[in-house]
Structure 1
Amino acid sequence: MPAGSNDYLGLAGKRFVVLGVANKKSVAWHVASGLESCGATVVYVVRSEERKASLAKLLAGRTIFVCDVEFEEQIQKLRDDLTATGEKFDGLLHSIAFADYSDGMKPFHETPKRAFLRAMDISCYSLMAVSNALKDLLTPTASVVAVSISTTRMASENYGYMAPIKAALESSLAFLAKSFSRFSQIRFNAVGPSLLKTSASAGIPGYIDSYLYAEQVIPRKEALQTEEAASAIVFLLSPRSSGIQAQNLIVDAGMSINYFDAEIVQRAMKPA
């Protein structure tokens, strides 16, 4: 994402907090790289000291803080750490999700309560908790962006209970936008990409088959690239998206328009 000489997105000199970089395949990493290429400064927040150490080479020379959003005291420490920088921030990326599939994929109605609530805490509530903790560190027109999915109405067995959690994440955008409007013009949006090739997705049972199927459904016969989702996020973080509020911007390369592609239907209807 090369920087334009006229800074069309208006990102030069702005500062952002990016949560969720795990490695160079992460959506968060591609977003951060895009922001930096546009002249912005990024402060990175990672889950653990071990993750910070593993990213030492990739994030060399950058400011990195540690915060496991499952623990309230760590969110408060992140607020204190960022406050100590003496800076205000023009945006925040929440690229965090967690689901425990270690026991294999179960039918939705057998979802363990503990697993569901933990995933809700980390993947959804953390957006509210972090936004609240950092509200005084965000500029009055800052942009907060979360990473969702392209549809929460598709009952994909191998995504399981995470779809309802992403639906809750999307719903929370409207409520955060409304409550923050009492004291700011801070915006809350999400980008909903179709299937991506990331390290996190590789841990979902059966994901590869779904990814390959998505490639067939997408009109161009090529899956969505992580860079494409990241570019949409960079736009939403920029002042150029100032009129967009409480939305999930779908980035699926047209997958949702092509489920009934004639060739795919014909192959599905052939006798086994």
Structure 2
Amino acid sequence: MKGLIVGLANDQSLAWGCASALRAQGAALALTYLNDRARPHVEPLARAVEAPIFLPLDVTQPEQVDALFDTIAAQWGSLDFLLHSIAFAPKADIQGRVLDSSAQGFATAMDISCHSLIRLAARAAPLMTQGGAILTMSFYGSEKVVPGYGIMGPVKAALESTMRYLAAELGPAGIRVNALSAGPVRTRAASGLSHFDELMRKAAETAPMHQLVTIEQVGEMAAFLLSGRSPTVTGQTIYVDAGYNITG
């Protein structure tokens, strides 16, 4: 099994929990890093999972997307899965009210966090010659109002809808597309949210299991959804949140 993971930032990333679980299942992994500043945090992780492909990827730069998929095609010839774990919004827009968000900030968040899934899926699908799986990462704020989540709520809602349309379009090719909605986890991306500590506390208190989830637990579910063990699961948002989503 050979797969591409995009969005790995450090060893606290959800993507790292996924990469570790997939590698433990024997998957060969292609990993990316955002830029030179991010590389020192990601390169040791790439070595830890013995990633044979390790390249820069800023999804707003088409030439980097081209270089990545050209390398995968040349080195592997095919691809079994794609994990999309990318989200971004300008700080002023994500920490303010949706009502006050700028058009440019909203467009940037939508492009990087949502449309990038479409662009990457379009490049990955032709390499999934024997079928495959695509997984993106979402959050409960796509469905219910979560204080402090701001414009990422509408953006994640769009991401989940995009996932369903891609599942419908790629299903005839044997390619499954799902979203994994994790409970709040203290990642670098989450640290930019206002009221995040309160969100963590509330999730732990109100989830039926009265606990938070770990990146390792999220990774185990991701590995299941990206493997041959879930051959008919597609178009779904799967929650890994100790049941928090049923209490809202």
Fold shared, TM-score > 0.5 on shorter chain: yes
Q: CA deviation at 1:104?
A: 7.0
How large is the RMSD of aligned CA atoms in angstroms? Answer: 1.7
Post-superposition CA distance 1:144-203 (Å, at most 9, x none): 000011352321230011011111111111221222235x11010011112112121112
CA–CA distance in structure 2, aligned partners of residues 231 and 117 of structure 1:
33
2:215 equivalent to 1:252: no
Question: How big is the shift at 1:53?
Answer: 3.2
SS at match of 1:154: coil
1:231 correspondence with 2:225? no
Q: Name the CA distance, whole Å, in 2 between partners of 1:127 and 1:178.
A: 15
Q: Go from structure 1 to structure 2 and tell me whether the alpha carbon gap of 1:159 and 1:103 turns closer, same or farther (over 3 Å shift).
A: closer
1:71-150 maps to which residues of 2 (within 5 A)?
Answer: 71-102=61-92, 105-150=95-140
Partner of 2:10: 23
Secondary structure of 2:133's counterpart equals: strand
Q: Alignment partner of 2:46: what SS?
A: coil
Matched residue SS, 1:156: coil
Q: Deviating runs (4+, > 3 A) in structure 1?
A: none
Summarize the Cα distance change of 1:74–1:104 in structure 2 as closer, same or farther, 3 Å threshold.
closer
- Going from structure 1 to structure 2, the CA distance change for 1:215 and 1:88 (only over 3 Å counts) comes to same
CA contact (8 A) 1:218 1:258 kept: yes
Between 113-122 and 95-104, report the one with greater CA deviation.
95-104
Give the Cα–Cα distance (whole angstroms) in 2 for the partners of residues 15 and 188 of structure 1: 16
The residue that corresponds to 1:172 in the other structure is 162
* Partner amino acid, structure 2, of 1:16: G
Q: Specify the SS of the correspondent of 2:37.
A: helix
Distance 1:86 1:243 in 2: 25
In structure 2, how many angstroms separate the alpha carbons of the residues matched to 1:39 and 1:104?
38
Answer with 134-143 or 185-194: which moved more.
134-143
Using the alignment, how far apart are the partners of 1:110 and 1:90 within structure 2?
41
What is the alpha-carbon distance in structure 1 between the residues aligned to residue 141 and residue 199 of structure 2?
14
Tell me the number of residue pairs that the alignment of Structure 1 and Structure 2 aligns: 245
| Structure 1 CA distance for aligned equivalents of residues 94 and 247 of structure 2 | 30
Identity of aligned residues (%): 31
**Which of 197, 203, 216 is the matching residue for 2:205?**
216
Instruction: Using structure 1 for the length normalisation, give the TM-score.
Output: 0.85
Q: What amino acid sits opposite 1:225 in the alignment?
A: T
Question: 1:197·1:226 contact (CA, 8 Å) conserved in 2?
Answer: no
Larger Rg: 1
Shift of 1:56: 2.5
SS at match of 1:57: helix
Contact 1:150 1:252 in 2 (8 A): no
Q: Is the 8 A contact 1:211 1:223 kept in 2?
A: yes
Q: Give the whole-Å Cα distance in 1 for the aligned partners of 2:165 and 2:94.
A: 34
